[in-house]
Chain A
Amino acid sequence: MNISMNELKATLKRCFEASGYFVGNYEDAANMVLWLEKHGLNGLNELKQALPYIGDDFDKPLSNVIYEDSTSAIIDAHHRSALNCIAAAVDLAHAKALESGIATVTVHNCHNRMFILKALTDRGRAGISAAAYWKNGSTKVSEHTAAIRSGQRYPSYSEAVANLSNNDDDKQALTIICSSRVDLTSSLQNTNSTFISPKQVEKNKQHTVEYGVEIEEDVWAEINRIGAGVLVENTERSQQDAGGR
C-alpha cells in the first residue's frame, strides 16, 4: 500500500514510543527509518528485521563510554539497536572532530547499524564530513560504508558481500570517523560492491517526495499495532476529556 512520509513518521513515532523509547529518541528512531526509506535505501526492510526485537532494548543497560581520549572513543551499546543509541555516538564523534580536527568513535554490540545513515547525513548539513564502516552477518559477511562531505545534503553508500570469515571480535561493531578539516569519501575495495552515489540518493528522495512510500500491508499493520500501545481506551468519561461535545 501507499502511504505518505508523514504517516510513516507519525506511526513509527507511536510505535517506538510504545516500545519504551524515550522522548527525543522515538523521534530520532522514526526519522532514521524514514530517512532510509525516503532515500531509496530500504528503511522498511531494515525495520522489518528490527521489529521482532524492538521492545527488548527497554531492559538493557544504556550505552556507555568504555574508552576515551581527545580524538577517539569506544562505546559499548550493550546489544541495543542503532535506532536508540547511534545518534549519541555520532554526536560524540562530531564534538571530538570539532575539537581535534578528526576523530574516531567505535561502537560495539550495536544492531541495525544501517540506520546510522540519517545521523551521518545530518553532519554534512552541520559542516562536518563523516564516514562509517561496518560488517554484518555471521555466515555470509557483508561490508557497508557510507560517507558525506561537509556542507552536502546526500551521502554515498556502498555494500558488498565480503570474502571474510566471521570474527567474534568485530561482530556488531561500527566505526565512525568525523572531521571538520578533511572531506571524507568512502567506497569499498571489494570489486563486487554496489555504490550508490549522492546524486542517486537525491533522485530517490525526489521520487518518494512525489509519490509517497510503498509499504507492505503486514508491516504497516504491525507498526500500527505496536503504536496502539500509546492510545488510551475510549470510555464515556474519556470522551468528556475532549470537551464532551
Chain B
Amino acid sequence: MTTHAAIHTSLWGENALPLRPASQVMNLERLGALHQSRLSFMRTLVRRIFRERWSIEPAIFELDKDGYGTVVYQVDAPNGTFSFVLFSDYLSPDERNDRVIATKWDLTMALVEGKVDRQYVEQLRLNVPKQEAGRVDSRVFVLSRANRSSRNFDYVVDQLAAGQQPEISKIAEVGYLYRTTAVYGSGKLGMADWEKVHSKHQDFARPFSGEMFVCLMLRNFSLLQVEHIAQHRSPESFGAMQPEIKRYFGIGNSTGLGMAPYLVNHPLLINQWVEMRELALARIRTLGTIDQQVMQTLSELIERSAQHTSETITDDDWQTQNNKVVIEDMAKLSSFIATGFSSWNEIIAHSEQHCSLQGQEMLVCVMLEMYPELVDELEDFHCADEQLDLDPLMPTTQLKDIIERRYDWALAIDFDAEGARETYWYRSEEKMEPRLGSVADIEGKKKQMALGVGYAVRKCYNHLSAYIEQHPDHTTARFMVAHPKLRGIVRRIQGMNRCIYGDIQANLLDRDVLPMHLLRCKLAFFGVSKFDPRSRLWVRNTMFQGAPLLENIGKPFNDDWFMPLAPKQ
C-alpha cells in the first residue's frame, strides 16, 4: 500500500516519475477527450463494494403491480449501516422533463445514514419526491431523481411479460431504463455536509462515492422493477431477464452546464484527480513490464475499445465523427503493436504523432487497465483539502515569475481580440441553473460568474507589473492591501502553484469555447461512457453499463468491465 509520502516523492523532486507536462494535460480539448478508466469513481466504488462484500438487502418492499410505491434497502458496509430509500410515483408523459427545472419525476431517492423506521420514511416521503422544493435533515447525504427512458422501459416490460428477452440492438441504442437528471450531495437541501460524510462515513469518504452509489442502486432497482411489472402483468408467460443482458443495462445520465463551474471552482480537487491519473500513467511508463501476455491483453483491450466505440450511437455529427476517428486510431495502434515495441514510451509517442486526442487518451485508459497493482491503490488519494491559502510573505517579483511560468498560456491569449471575451456564464433565477450567454445580454453580463480565470490572471499580471515598478521590494501582503480586488486571483495563483497540474488551460470567455469538454472531463472521472451530446451545452451518457449486478456480491468478482460490449444474442 502506498502513502502520501511515497506519492509526494513520485510527483516532486529529483526522484519524481516522468509525468506528462501541465501544458499537455490541462489543455481543455484534451480534458474533453478523457474516457472512463479503472480509477474512475464508478469503478472504484464497485471494487470496494464487491471486495468488501457489502450486504444490500430490501428492508421495505412495497410496490404495486405497476411498480409504484416505496422501497428501502438496508446497506451494511464494513464501517456503517445505511439506507437507500426510493419512491416510485406515476408520472404522465407530458410531465417528464430531464431539465433541472422539472418538478416531478418517475423515481426519487435518498441515501441515509443508519436504519430508517416507518416514521422517518414518511417524513422522507413528504420531501424527497419534491427534490429542490423539499427539505431533508443531516441524516440524508444524497438525493436524486430519475425518469424512465421512453424508448426502452415499456418495450422491455412488454418483452419480459411475453417471455422474451429485449433485443440487444435496442439496448445498444439506449443502454438504460432510467435516466437520472440530478444527483445532489454535499449539504444541498439540508443534507449532511461533505465534511460530515468524509469524517464520519468511511465507506463513502471518497469524492462522489455516495452519489455514484445512488446511481448504482437506481440501476439495480430499474432492473428489478421491469421484472416486477412484467411478472404481475403476465405471470404465466413472464420470463426473467438473462443476467448478461441485465448487465448490459446501465443508468442514463443527462448532464448540463452545472458541472462546468464545478471544475473551475474546485481547482485543487480536479488537480488531485488529474495528478493521480497521471501518476498512474507515469508509474506504468516506468515500471510496467511488457511481455507476451501484456502484448496480447493490450491488443484485446484496444480491439474492445474500438468495438465499444462502434457500438456507441449518437445523433450528434461532431461526436459521430470523433467516434469514427477513435476507431481509426485504435486500428493504427493495433498495427503498431503488431510490429512490436519494447517500452510504453514508444507507443505513447506513436499515439501522440498519429492519433487524435481521444485516441491518445483511450490508450492511456487501456494502459491503466492492465496494471491494477500500479494503479488501484491511488484510488485512496482522490480527496483534497480545498483551501487556497494566500502566501503573504511571497515577494511580488516571485508572484510575477509564477504567473509567467505557470500561466504563460493565459498571458499568450489576446483578450482584446474579437470574440475573446464574448461568452459569459451566469446563474438563472430559475433554480439557479447555470447558463451561458453572449455579450448581447447586458443584464446577464453584469451578473456573470467569475469563471474567466485566464482573463483574471492577465489583469492581475498587468496591475502587478505596474506595482513592482513602484515597489520592487514589497511582499504579496502589501500588494493585497493596495489591490484588495485581486485577492481571489492572487490566492488562486499561489495555491495552484503548489500543484503539479494547476488550472485548466483555456479561455472560458471565448466565443468558441466548448463547455462540452468540461462536462466530459468530469463525467470521465466519474466513469461514464457512451457520450451523446444533445447540444454544445448538455450531454447524455450511460453510467455503470457492464458493471456487475448486486446479486453477484459475494461471488467470484471480475473487475473487468472497462468499455463494455453488447452481449451476443
User: Chain A residues in contact with chain B, CB under 8 A?
Assistant: 1-7, 22-25, 27-28, 62-65, 75, 84-85, 87-89, 91-92, 94-96, 98-99, 122, 126, 209-212, 228-234, 237-239, 241-245
- Is there contact, CB below 8 Å, between A92 and B392? yes
Is B191 interfacial (CB-CB < 8 Å)? yes
Number of interface residues of B (CB under 8 A): 62
Residue pair B484, A65 in contact (C-beta under 8 Å): no
Per a CB cutoff under 8 Å, which of A91, A122, A231 touches B480?
Answer: A91
The residue on B at minimum CB distance from A3 is B190
Q: Which of A7, A89, A98, A238 lies at the interface centre, i.e. has the most chain B CB atoms within 10 A of its CB?
A: A238
A6 pairs with B257, CB closer than 8 A: no
Query: Would B138 and A211 count as touching, CB distance under 8 A?
Result: yes
Given known pairs A24-B488, A88-B484, the reply for A241 and B478 (CB within 8 Å) is no
- A65–B188 Cα distance when bound, in Å, is 41
Contact of B191 among A4, A85, A233 (CB under 8 A): A4
Q: Which of B428, B456, B475, B486 contacts A232 (CB 8 A)?
A: B428
Known: A6-B186, A209-B193, A242-B537. A94 touches B435 (CB 8 A): no
Set A2, A22, A229: member contacting B484, Cβ < 8 A: A22
User: Distance (Å) between the CB of A11 and the closest chain B CB?
Assistant: 10
Known: A28-B487, A209-B196, A242-B428. Contact between A6 and B187, CB under 8 A?
Answer: yes
Report the minimum CB–CB distance from B344 to chain A (whole Å).
Answer: 39
For the complex formed, measure the closest distance between the CB of B22 and the CB atoms of chain A, giving whole angstroms. 23
For residue B112, give the distance in angstroms from its CB to the closest CB of chain A: 14
Q: Is the pair B437, A241 in contact by a Cβ cutoff of 8 Å? A: yes
Q: Tell me the bound Cα distance from A88 to B199 in angstroms.
A: 31
Known: A231-B447, A242-B256. Is A27-B392 also a contact (CB below 8 A)?
no
Measured between beta carbons, the chain A residues less than 8 angstroms from B195 are: 5, 209
Q: Return chain A residues, CB-CB under 8 Å to B189.
A: 7
Interface residues of B in 73-113 (CB under 8 A from A): 97-99
22 contacts across the A-B interface (CB closer than 8 A): A2-B137, A4-B138, A4-B190, A22-B484, A23-B488, A63-B484, A65-B481, A91-B392, A92-B481, A95-B393, A210-B138, A212-B138, A231-B427, A231-B447, A232-B429, A233-B428, A239-B428, A241-B428, A241-B537, A244-B537, A245-B97, A245-B99
Q: Are B484 and A212 in contact (CB under 8 A)?
A: no
Is A242 a contact partner of B447 (Cβ separation < 8 A)? no
Question: Smallest CB–CB gap between B489 and chain A, Å?
Answer: 7
| B187, A5: Cβ atoms closer than 8 Å | yes
A88/B429 in contact, CB under 8 A: no
Residues of B within 8 A of A27 (CB): 488
In the docked arrangement, what's the CA distance between A139 and B100, Å? 52
| Set of chain A residues within 8 Å of B443, measured between Cβ atoms | 232-233
Which residues of the partner chain A approach B191 to less than 8 Å between Cβ atoms? 4
Interface: B253 (CB within 8 A):
no
Across the interface, which residues of A come within 8 angstroms of B482, CB to CB? 64
Which residue of the partner chain A has the closest CB to B490?
A: A24
Given A210-B196, A245-B538, does the pair A233, B393 have CB atoms closer than 8 Å?
no
Within the complex, the shortest CB–CB distance from B82 to chain A, in Å, comes to 16
The contact of B488 among A5, A25, A242, by CB within 8 Å, is A25
Q: Given the complex of chains A and B, what is the CA–CA distance between A62 and B432 in angstroms?
A: 31
Cβ proximity bits B256-273 to A, threshold 8 Å, 1 near / 0 not: 110000000000000000
Contact, CB under 8 Å: A95 / B392: yes
Residues of A within 8 A of B192 (CB): 4, 212
A86, chain B: closest CB distance, angstroms: 11
- Within the complex, the shortest CB–CB distance from A210 to chain B, in Å, comes to 6
A243 with B427: in contact, given A92-B392, A209-B199, A232-B435 (CB under 8 Å)? no
B534 CB within 8 Å of chain A = yes
Q: Shortest Cβ distance from B516 into chain A, in angstroms?
A: 10
CA distance A185 to B389 in the complex (A): 24
* Least CB distance, A143 to chain B, in whole angstroms: 27
Cross-chain contact of A243 among B432, B488, B538 (Cβ < 8 A): B538
Would B432 and A231 count as touching, CB distance under 8 A? yes
Contact with A along B485-526 (1 / 0, CB 8 A): 111111110000000000000000000000000000000000
A234→B534 CA distance, assembly (Å): 22
Q: Nearest chain A CB to B381's CB is how many angstroms away?
A: 21
Tell me the bound Cα distance from A3 to B192 in angstroms: 9
* B413 contacts partner chain A, Cβ-Cβ < 8 Å: no
Q: Contacts A5-B193, A212-B190; is A22 near B537 (CB within 8 Å)?
A: no
A94 to chain B, nearest CB (A): 5
B292 at the interface (CB under 8 A from A): no
Q: CB of B172 within 8 A of chain A?
A: no
| Residue numbers in B under 8 Å from A234 (CB-CB) | 428-430
Q: Determine how close the nearest CB of chain B comes to the CB of A109; give it in whole angstroms.
A: 15
> Cβ of B427 and Cβ of A230 under 8 Å apart?
yes
Q: What are the residues of chain B within 8 A of A63 when measuring CB–CB? A: 481, 484
- A244's closest neighbor in chain B, by CB? B535
B534 contacts A243, C-beta separation under 8 Å: yes
A242–B196 alpha-carbon span in the complex (Å):
32
Of all chain A residues, the one with the shortest Cβ separation from B445 is: A232
* B450 on interface, CB distance cutoff 8 Å: yes
Residues in A neighbouring B481, C-beta threshold 8 A: 63-65, 75, 88-89, 92
Contact A25 B478, beta carbon cutoff 8 Å:
no
Q: How far is the CA of A200 from the CA of B476 in the complex (A)?
A: 34
CB-CB < 8 A to A84: which residues of B? 484
Task: Decide: A6 near B485, CB < 8 A? Known: A23-B456, A212-B138, A233-B429.
Answer: no
A20 CA to B195 CA, complexed, in Å: 29
Does B168 count as interface, using CB distance less than 8 angstroms?
Answer: no
Cα separation A53 to B427 with both chains bound (whole Å) = 25
User: Apart from A62-B484, A126-B389, A241-B435, what are 6 other A-B pairs with CB-CB below 8 Å?
Assistant: A22-B488, A91-B392, A94-B477, A233-B428, A241-B436, A241-B537
Which chain A residues lie closer than 8 Å to B537 at the CB level?
241-244
Q: A209-B193, A242-B537 are in contact. Are A24 and B489 (CB under 8 A)?
A: yes
B484 and A4 contacting across the interface, CB-CB below 8 Å: no
Rounded to whole angstroms, the CA-CA distance of A99 and B475 in the bound complex is 10
A245 cross-chain contacts in B, Cβ below 8 A: 97-99, 256, 534-535, 538
CA distance in complex: A88, B447 (Å): 26
Tell me the complex Cα distance, A62–B393, Å.
21
**What 0/1 pattern do residues 524 to 543 of B give for CB contact below 8 A with A?**
00000000001101100000
B399 to chain A, nearest CB (A): 13
- Please, how many angstroms separate the alpha-carbon atoms of A126 and B194 in the complex? 23
* Distance A84 CA – B484 CA, assembled complex (angstroms): 9
Which of chain B's residues have a CB closer than 8 A to the CB of A126? 389
Most chain B CB within a 10 A radius of its CB, from A96, A230, A242, A245: A242
By a CB distance below 8 angstroms, the chain A residues around B436 are: 241-242
Q: How far is the CA of A87 from the CA of B485 in the complex (A)?
A: 12
| Inter-chain contact B256/A232, CB cutoff 8 Å | no
Within 8 A of A (CB), among B179-213: 186-196, 199-200
B433 in the interface (beta carbon within 8 A): yes
A209→B456 CA distance, assembly (Å): 34
The docked-state distance in angstroms from the alpha carbon of A139 to that of B195 is: 41
